[in-house]
Amino acid sequence: MPYRENLGDVLLNVEDLRVIYKTDLETVAAVNGVSFTIKRGKTLGLVGETGAGKTTTALSIMRLLPSTTGRILGGKAEFNGRDIMKFDDLMLRAIRGNSIAMVFQDPMTSLNPVMTVGDQIAETIETHNEKISKNEVKKRVGDILTLVGIMPQRMSEYPHQFSGGMKQRVVIAIALACEPELLIADEPTTALDVTIQAQVLNVIKELRERLGTSMLMITHDLGIVARICDDVAVMYAGEIIESGPVEDIFSPKAHHPYTAGLFDSVPDLRSDAKRLKPIPGLMPDPTNLPPGCVFAPRCSRAMDICAREHPKKTVSGAHSLACHLFGGTGA
Amino acid sequence: MSENTPLLETAALRKLFKLRGGANLHAVDGVNIRIAKGETLGVVGESGCGKSTLGRVILRLIEPTSGQVFFNGRDIAKFKKRDMYELRREMQIIFQDPYSSIDPRKSVVEIIAEYMFIHKLFGNKLETFNRAAELMDMVGLARRYANMYPHELDGGRRQRIGIARALSLNPKFIVCDEPVSALDVSIQAQILNLLMDIQEELGLTYMFITHDLSVVKHISNNIVVMYLGQCVEFAAYGELFDNTLHPYTQALLAAIPEPNLESRLKEPKIIRGEVTSPINVKPGCRFAARCDYCMDVCRTRDPEFAEVSPGHFVACFKVSGK
């Protein structure tokens, strides 16, 4: 396999990941054979609509799926060459928050309301550095707050004294406290206003450059992808249907009809067209996915084969897509 | 602003919320807007700028503190309860969150028929439910959903219920309070197209409240930008985007990440700071603390909402000198 040759560059290699949520009543096929790699120092944007399986993918990498319902059926996630899926609890504890950190969507609920902001950042540092002095922890908390643009004097304040944008910076500060190699950001700016979103995105961009952190950026906003991602993977109904460098995804070449539809349905500031071009229909029910291409029921270019056969990946350079239109039969 | 007589007009409309300790929260502070019949006014601003309160004060779901609201030339701010009941047929609202704005214990057809029962639009149940079914066709909800409950439907379909319900009394004017912000992009486009089609078919007038400038561009004839309870810029949609004057509007536009690669190269102009508190605001431009062009006068006096070119109003000392 090609990526073996430059293993040194690859930080995270996810291969054929399959995740289901199982309850007494039904089985939800949330992630169905997802593969991607994140190179050192690069940012991968995972794009898709609600229910596409983006967050489930991220939670599986961290092994944080709800234990009662979520099951990882198969696949691997090699982080620095070691498969996280085979880790025991102790090994997971060692990497969570230390080498892989996560920023959640909603800054209002991901902070502890009865703990000062400084203590919450210190908690992460102390967990992963047992023999560190109180003073040194305090110094590092101050440094990390400065890094995300908050005055260190505010470390003894509580989350309710901060605004939404500031809270999200605190969450980012916690995630960066141990200088992780990989930062997973799950829609970090969705809950924020545009002007604050621009500020937070800039903080993320700057930090990435300064610390050389790799990132998995989960978002539904193609504008954010254009601004900060190096590679893009488009997810639909638990599958990656198109992936490649950001230049390929945003260039007007051959695209998966779903990717094209996504671009068409975003209201464009520059066009004068009054009507939007939505994708008709809805995402398929994940408890009952269609047998062929998962997008076929909504696709305007669907052919007979699409309903029967699952398309295989067609690769050209770094750009790959799974669609019968582009010889995806792979027969 | 517009040649024909406005369907809705507000004059110095204010809503102050009294807080404990006698402080006032200035949610809507002296807003003058005008919406002509059959047109759409887009109201844009960040969270906390008072845009939703404005929508609700206009419908008198929240009572205004002072000022007037003229609907068809009559000042409805003075209407008695009985008159308001009659007026509700003509003014409706579509709410932001399709999950919490509809009754989870009623079936789809019951939700849509509820307003018609309250206003006794039809003599009997059968006629009412038939009308509800027609409304379902109009908003693109298959009739097989009629007896389902909201939890069985997704966000896009629920928002269609909200739209059908708002249309059920044949209103002339609808306040759309962020009707698409809880929805995915592909569904958002479906709902926006539906709202535009219905407007054309029924000759409705909309006030479209949103935080997303790119959404408002598609649907509005005129756009008003709000900041901390006040209007800072008003213009026709083309004019606002081609000739953006107020520094806040410029910053809002610059902050939107555009889905193309050119935006990657240019360093976005970012406004510093956050929205200041709307509690007991001091005189002076409310954007002054975050503004790059702030002058001494900005901190002492309120700028006038002045017409700088025909139909283009701006409240900024740098732009208009007033």
Tell me which amino acid residue B259 is: P
Q: What is the pLDDT of residue A171?
A: 93
Whether A49 and B255 lie within 8 Å, measured CB to CB:
no
Under an 8 A CB cutoff, do B259 and A266 touch?
Answer: yes
pLDDT of res. A109? 83
pLDDT < 70: residue spans in chain A: 1-8, 272-273, 328-331
Q: Do A49 and B252 touch (CB under 8 A)?
A: no
Closest alpha carbon within chain A to B237: A272
CB contact under 8 A, A197 and B257: yes
**322 residues of chain B, pLDDT tens digit each:** 445 679 999 999 999 999 888 888 999 999 999 999 999 999 999 888 899 999 999 999 999 999 999 999 999 999 999 999 999 999 999 998 888 889 999 999 999 999 999 999 998 999 999 999 999 999 999 999 999 999 988 888 999 999 999 999 999 999 999 998 888 888 888 999 999 999 999 999 999 999 888 888 888 999 999 999 999 999 998 899 999 999 999 998 888 888 888 777 666 677 777 777 888 888 889 998 888 888 889 988 889 999 999 999 999 998 887 7
What residue of B is the nearest CA neighbor of A219?
A: B184
Task: Give the long-range contacts of residues B310-313, CB within 8 A, separation 24 or more.
Answer: B311/B1, B311/B235, B311/B236, B311/B239, B312/B233, B312/B234, B312/B235, B312/B236, B312/B239, B312/B240, B312/B243, B312/B245, B313/B231, B313/B233, B313/B234, B313/B235
pLDDT at B3: 52
B91 min Cα distance to partner chain A (Å): 25
CATH T-level topology, domain A2-99+178-326: Rossmann fold (3.40.50)
Please report the beta strands in chain A, taking only residues with DSSP state E, as ranges in sequence order: 10-22, 27-39, 43-47, 70-79, 82-83, 100-103, 182-186, 214-219, 231-236, 239-245, 313-316, 319-322
Size of interface A-B (CB pairs under 8 A): 123
Residue B258, chain A, CB below 8 Å: the answer is yes
Structure confidence at residue A179 (pLDDT): 87
d(CA B227, CA B242): 20
pLDDT of residue B64: 94
**ipTM of the predicted structure?**
0.80
CATH 3.40.50.300 fits B6-90+171-320, yes or no: yes
For the whole model, what pTM was predicted? 0.85
* Chain B residues 97-136 with CB within 8 Å of chain A: none
**What pLDDT score was predicted for residue A296?**
92
